[in-house]
Structure 1
Amino acid sequence: MMPVPHATTPLRRAPVQRRSAERLTRILDACADLLDEVGYDALSTRAVAQRAGVPIGSVYRFFGNKRAMADALAGRNLERYTERVRARLDALDGAVDDAPGGDGWRAALDAVLDEYLAMKRTAPGFSLVDFGNQIPVGSRHDEPNHRVADRLAGLLAGHLGRHPDDDALRRTFLVAVETADTLVHLAFRVDPRGDAAIIEEMRKMLRAYLGRALDPCD
């Protein structure tokens, strides 16, 4: 069973049974596929219900409108992205923690960027919704890049010998996420698969910025 969307998702009713959770998953899968096919403006709850093979009432059981549905998809994307990054960090098998001179964050940065780029290229609907920042979903007080930055701080703080609630660390990640967000979207506007030269420039820029904040002082 796929994970339920992030806790900030405005579900009208959370699924409590496996069958209900599976139906919610089908609805979100259909929403993602249709976003790729017709875009957000042409997306409709009726079309999603038809694609998911569920009654229209099932869609409205969870969502009041397509905006709420797209926000739920963004929340699910964030959960899946978090799991992918966590798996990559686990696969590094201590490389982040044991790198000489506190240099392990560079391997972590590669994992964070690589997994985002992979989802950008392969995850249905991700090019329009990703974590919610390209269409008007969510609220002013729940900005997607803040959520991503906080999630990354929670994932990486231990590897960096910092506390997840460290305001300076969270601010550093927020600046990095905002920068990466802008440049990744530029790369994918230039090339549907992501312009390699722009992505490499972004990687260099982030390494330089994060190095000032994360490398140990002499």
Structure 2
Amino acid sequence: MGRRQSEALLQTHQIMNPEKTTPNRQRKPQQTRSQKRVNHILDVAEQLFIDQGYDQTTTRAIAAQAQVPIGSLYQFFPDKNAIVRAIAQRYFAQQYQLFVTLHRQLSTAPIAVYVEQVVDAFDQFTTDHPGYQAILEQVIDFMTVADASQLDEFDQQILAELTHFLAQRNATLPNHKCEIIALTILKTVNELLWLSLTRDEEFRQALVDETKRLITSYLQSYCV
């Protein structure tokens, strides 16, 4: 699920989605090429951060590996921090799409099945993306206390989806209660899954299992 992002992440999201900020539709082919170049730069940078580490990776190395002029890289990303934020933002977008797909597939499933599959999917996401933890740790280092207290745009969307899901599963729950329950779930799962990444495999899996048990019991207490 979503993490703790600063306003700079949203600005990067706009850079990565110029079609949403540029009213001139005739420039779409150029924007598509730009988007492909951005994604290629991010792919290369992500692998370099994994292989060499953040501190050892330079923007010039990223540009050279991506085979783009350094000036072209700076057109999209003013510095290395912006690249890291953009990679994190891409992770969050992928996680949101994963959530939406699972959420809708499992909308009528027993709550234990729903929780198990959703939590397992997000846990698997971190395994499938070896740079996930390092990238997010770097982003967190950039953040202020105020940034950390905010929900990013994808967390807000997940929160809305969860709120709607709860209202559908128990029509007696008022909307403000559904919002509180959804926020509790979101924050709890985020924090516990993040914590699980810092431990050995046995402890990590045990914590994931306890997370599922906790959320399932919590939701069942509201007859969801």
Using a 3 Å threshold, how does the CA distance of structure 1 residues 199 and 85 change in structure 2: closer, same or farther?
Answer: same
Is the CA contact 1:145–1:174 (under 8 Å) kept in the aligned structure 2? no
Using a 3 Å threshold, how does the CA distance of structure 1 residues 144 and 59 change in structure 2: closer, same or farther?
Answer: farther
Deviation at 1:21, TM superposition (A): 0.7
Structure 2 portions without partners, runs of 5+: 1-7, 20-27
Aligned length: 200
SS in 1 for 2:162: helix
Tell me the TM-score normalised to structure 1 length.
0.73
1:23-172, aligned counterparts within 5 Å? 23-92=37-106, 96-97=107-108, 99=109, 104-130=110-136, 134-137=140-143, 140-141=146-147, 146-161=152-167, 166-172=175-181
Cα distance in 1 for partners of 2:57, 2:149 equals 23
Cα distance in 1 for partners of 2:88, 2:137 equals 4
Structure 1 portions without partners, runs of 5+: 1-5
The answer for the alignment partner of 1:3 in structure 2 is: none
Q: Which of 8, 11, 36 is equivalent to 2:10?
A: 8
2:223 maps to amino acid: D
Using a 3 Å threshold, how does the CA distance of structure 1 residues 149 and 21 change in structure 2: closer, same or farther?
Answer: closer
Is the CA contact 1:74–1:129 (under 8 Å) kept in the aligned structure 2? yes
Is the CA contact 2:99–2:118 (under 8 Å) kept in the aligned structure 1? yes
Q: C-alpha offsets along residues 33-56 of structure 1, whole Å, 9 cap, x if unaligned?
A: 122222333332222212222111
Structure of greater relative contact order (alpha carbons < 8 Å, 6+ residues apart): 2
RMSD of aligned alpha carbons = 3.4
Is the CA contact 1:121–1:193 (under 8 Å) kept in the aligned structure 2? no
2:146 maps to amino acid: R
Cα distance in 2 for partners of 1:86, 1:210 equals 19
SS in 2 for 1:207: helix
Tell me the TM-score normalised to structure 2 length.
0.71
Q: C-alpha offsets along residues 45-102 of structure 1, whole Å, 9 cap, x if unaligned?
A: 222212222111122111111222111111111111111122223433xxx23x5xxx
Deviation at 1:197, TM superposition (A): 1.3
Deviation at 1:23, TM superposition (A): 0.2
